[in-house]
Amino acid sequence: MNKRHITSAVSQLFGKFANKEFPHWFQKIVNYSYVKLMGLDMSEFHDPGTYKSLNALFTRKLKEPRKFSLDAEDFIAPCDSLITECGRLIEDYALQIKGMRYKTDNLLGKNFTQAEKDYVHNGEFVNFYLSPKDYHRYHIPMNLQVLKAVHIPGKFYPVNIPSLKKRLNLFIENERVVLLCKTQEGKYFYIILVSALNVGVMKVSFEPRIQTNADAEEEQVYLFENLYLDKGEDFGCFEMGSTIVILAQEDMLELLVKENDKVKFGDTIAKYNSK
């Protein structure tokens, strides 16, 4: 068995601490300290002292559902995040951050056919960075069908702005879960969950067999029949902040956001072209 990367060991160690349920008095200190240190806005959530572990605080759910547009043409943000980059793919090249590009064919891994990878060539991409203070759950951006999920083991390098600027192919090196999705009109796009340092787990609620930051060394493929998810549906969470990348078929999305925009889950970030 190959020796696991140090970033994986660090993330696992932090995960054990975050999952530990300390005595209530001490857990309150941990939780309130984290909220103050990171500057969390808890106005939409329960009191920090009510969460039984730091991880329960990380993966907190909204007290009340957020409202968002039900118009089929409105493509919504899947998470609370910073748009670190977005725009048009040049063939299969996307920007990790300004001045640093990578090949999306490599990001998608070896378990998608070239035809499946070609779906998004010359299309649109959006990179969503979730900081440690953000709401860590992710949601479905439009009504869709999930065709395939691929878990790609990898490293756990930080994905914050300084790291994006200094490490080429960061998204490709890190562990990720890639979802191939299809719209009702037959257009294709990908939702890619990218790990980061201290992100011990990326949860995918509709496929509990996906176990990230585990002992898997080979890509794992999951195929689905008749798996339809609705816009706004909660489909999992990061345990700590990380990144989501969306890659869309050419002429599918007209982006309404730009680099450095701060968005919240439910905001309309693009117009969907159904034709």
For the domain that residue 91 is a member of, what is the CATH number?
Answer: 2.70.70
**Domain count across the chain:** 2
What is the distance in angstroms between the CA of the first residue and the CA of the last residue of the chain?
A: 49
State the pTM of this model.
0.89
pLDDT at 3: 46
pLDDT band per the 50, 70, 90 thresholds, residue 162: low
Task: Report the percentage of the chain scoring pLDDT > 70.
Answer: 85
121 and 27 share a domain? no
Pairwise pLDDT comparison (101 vs 73), residue with the higher score: 73
What is the span of the domain harbouring residue 33? 6-58
Q: Are residues 109 and 209 in the same domain?
A: yes
Q: Residue 135's closest CA among 63, 218, 209? A: 63
Quote the CA–CA distance of 213 and 175 in Å, as a whole number.
8
Tell me if 63 is assigned to some domain. no
**Of 139, 134, 87, whose CA–CA distance to 266 is shortest?**
139
Query: Do 195 and 137 belong together in one domain?
Result: yes
Task: Pick the closest to residue 243 from 207, 204, 186, 191 (CA basis).
Answer: 191
Eight-class DSSP state of 50? G
Active site residues: 80, 139, 242
Domain assignment present for 66: no
My answer on whether 127 and 179 are in the same domain is yes
Phi, psi of 88, rounded to the nearest 5 degrees: -100, 135
Query: At residue 9, does pLDDT exceed 50?
Result: no
Residue type, 218: E
Q: Which of 163 and 96 is assigned the larger pLDDT? A: 96
Contacts of 115 (CB under 8 A, 6+ apart): none
- Residue 94 and residue 14 share a domain: no
- Cα(187)–Cα(178) distance, integer angstroms: 17
Are residue 168 and residue 236 in the same domain, yes or no? yes
pLDDT band at 202 (very low <50, low <70, confident <90, very high): confident
Which run of H or E residues covers position 13?
A: helix 6-19
For 63-97, give one letter per residue: b (16+ CB within 10 A) or e: eeeeebeeeeebbbbbbbbbbbbbeebeebebbbb
Query: How many residues make up the chain in this entry?
Result: 275
Asked if residue 102 and residue 28 are part of one domain, the reply reads no
Q: Is residue 160 located within the same domain as residue 208?
A: yes
Question: In this structure, are 250 and 133 located in the same domain?
Answer: yes
* Shared domain check, 78 and 37: no
Tell me whether residue 105 is in a domain. Answer: yes
